[in-house]
Amino acid sequence: MRNDTPPEPPAIRPADAADAGRIAALHCESWRDAYAQVLDPAFLAGPIEADRRALWAERLGAPAPAQGVLLAETPGHETAGFICFFRDNDPRWGTLIDNLHVDPALRGRGIGERLIRAAVATFAPDRPFHLWVFEANAAGVRFYLRLGGTIVERGIDDKPAARGAPHLRIA
Ligand SMILES: CC(C)(COP(=O)(O)OP(=O)(O)OC[C@H]1O[C@@H](n2cnc3c(N)ncnc32)[C@H](O)[C@@H]1OP(=O)(O)O)[C@@H](O)C(=O)NCCC(=O)NCCS
Instruction: Please name which of 25, 125, 123, 128 lies closest in space to residue 82, comparing C-alpha atoms.
Output: 25
**Do residues 131 and 169 make contact, with C-beta atoms less than 8 angstroms apart?**
yes
Q: Does residue 108 form part of some domain?
A: yes
CATH of the domain at 105: 3.40.630.30
Q: Does residue 155 form part of some domain?
A: no
Residue whose CB lies within 8 A of the most ligand 1 atoms, among 84, 101, 107, 157, for a mutation test = 107
Q: Does residue 80 form part of some domain?
A: yes
Q: Using a 6 Å cutoff on CB, does residue 110 contact ligand 1?
A: yes
Q: Does residue 157 form part of some domain?
A: no
Instruction: Please name which of 66, 46, 54 lies closest in space to residue 23, comparing C-alpha atoms.
Output: 54
Q: What is the pLDDT of residues 53-90, one digit of tens each?
A: 999 999 999 999 999 999 999 999 999 999 999 999 99
Q: Does residue 121 form part of some domain?
A: yes
Q: Give residue 50's domain range.
A: 11-126
Residue whose CB lies within 8 A of the most ligand 1 atoms, among 33, 131, 143, 151, for a mutation test = 143
Atom 7, ligand 1: residue with shortest CA distance: 112
User: How much is the average pLDDT of 152-168?
Assistant: 97
Q: What is the pLDDT of residues 8-56, one digit of tens each?
A: 689 999 999 999 999 999 999 999 999 999 999 999 999 999 999 999 9
Provide the whole-model pTM: 0.92
Q: Does residue 167 form part of some domain?
A: no
Q: Using a 6 Å cutoff on CB, does residue 116 contact ligand 1?
A: no
pLDDT at 21: 98
Q: Does residue 135 form part of some domain?
A: no
Instruction: For residue 167, report the distance from its CA to the centre of ligand 1, in Å.
Output: 17
Atom 31, ligand 1: residue with shortest CA distance: 143
Instruction: For residue 111, report the distance from its CA to the centre of ligand 1, in Å.
Output: 9
Residue whose CB lies within 8 A of the most ligand 1 atoms, among 102, 113, 132, 157, for a mutation test = 102
Q: Does residue 146 form part of some domain?
A: no
Question: Number of structural domains, the chain?
Answer: 1
